[in-house]
Amino acid sequence: MKEQIAMIQIGQKIDDFIDDSEFEVYQNDEIKKVKFSNYEGKWLVLLFYAADFTFICPTELQEAAEYYDEFKKEGAEILSVSTDTVFVHKAWHDNSPSIAKIGYPMVADATARLLKALDIHDNSIGRSAEEILRKLQAASFVRQHQGEVCPASWKPGKKTLKPGLDLVGKI
């Protein structure tokens, strides 16, 4: 029998997705246990990555660190997640100038309980924190403005669309 994998949906409360048990994080030279409920009322950006001590992952995580204040302005918290332990996160943080810049929590998911990724790409291609921030801003906008949608490459302050009213050409 195949095991069913629960997939979180945008806008779904995370405690609906997985039980609210504790998990370990490494943050600001501290190892601690947290729950998803610690972040209640915030957007959560879960950055799943392959492993510590890799080549592309630190570029993504460092870029996310550079945008961290912007994410917080949007009411979001970043959690980077890999199957490494908090001790490996600490060792990476202590030995990598790129990772030393990270101020957000680094989640240890050694049993792959959380690790479910939807952004599928080749491991040799890095993701853009700026694009993830743009998607967060769009998700926040459409939550606050029912009936409006954000077109491709939309950024705050740009034109949105109202389905059924805005047409893309005529037949």
Residues tagged active-site: 57
Please give the full DSSP string across 88-113, using - where no structure is assigned: HHHHHHHH-TTGGG--S-EEE-TT-S
Q: Provide the token pair at 105.
A: 């929590």
What letter does residue 161 receive in the DSSP assignment? B
Residue from 83, 124, 132, 86 nearest 105 by CA: 86
Order of strands, sheet of 30-34, starting from the edge strand that comes earlier in the sequence: 30-34, 23-27, 106-108, 76-82, 43-48
| CA 106/CA 61 separation, integer angstroms | 10
C-alpha 47 chain-centroid distance: 4
* CA–CA separation, 170 and 32 (whole Å): 57
DSSP code, position 167: -
